[in-house]
Amino acid sequence: MRGISKRVETEKIELGKRIEAADLLGQAGDPRLEGDTQVTIPAGGVHIGAQKGSHKVRNYPQEAFDDESPVHEVKLPASGSGGSR
């Protein structure tokens, strides 16, 4: 379990084993998760959709399908993630 916190070591561990270890840490009361673990995600916009008309315009993959247009911005409100124990 010690190697799970080191990125270089983590990459050598099979994903299923990492998930299992994380679950066990959560059940055991991982001290890194004590207290307020709330993360604030600020409001903002994200462009979604794709277009293949011009590489000079945002979201241009040549493989875009016609039904992925138009590219448009979606405004997202601020939100929170996580919580406290």
pLDDT digits (tens, 9 = 90+) for 22-66: 888 888 887 776 777 678 889 999 999 998 888 888 888 888 888
Of 17-21, 26-30, 50-54, 69-73, the range with the lowest mean pLDDT is 26-30
**Cβ contact 64:48 at 8 Å:** no
pLDDT beyond 90 at 11: no
Considering the domain architecture, whether residues 66 and 56 belong to the same structural domain is answered as yes
Range of the domain at 72: 39-79
Q: What is the pTM of this model?
A: 0.45
User: HSE-up of 15 (CA within 13 Å, CB side)?
Assistant: 0
Inside any domain, residue 73: yes
Inside any domain, residue 85: no
Considering the domain architecture, whether residues 49 and 73 belong to the same structural domain is answered as yes
Say how many domains are in the chain: 2
Considering the domain architecture, whether residues 21 and 8 belong to the same structural domain is answered as yes
Considering the domain architecture, whether residues 32 and 49 belong to the same structural domain is answered as no
What pLDDT score does 7 carry?
58
Considering the domain architecture, whether residues 29 and 46 belong to the same structural domain is answered as no
Pick the residue with more confidence: 39 or 9?
Answer: 39
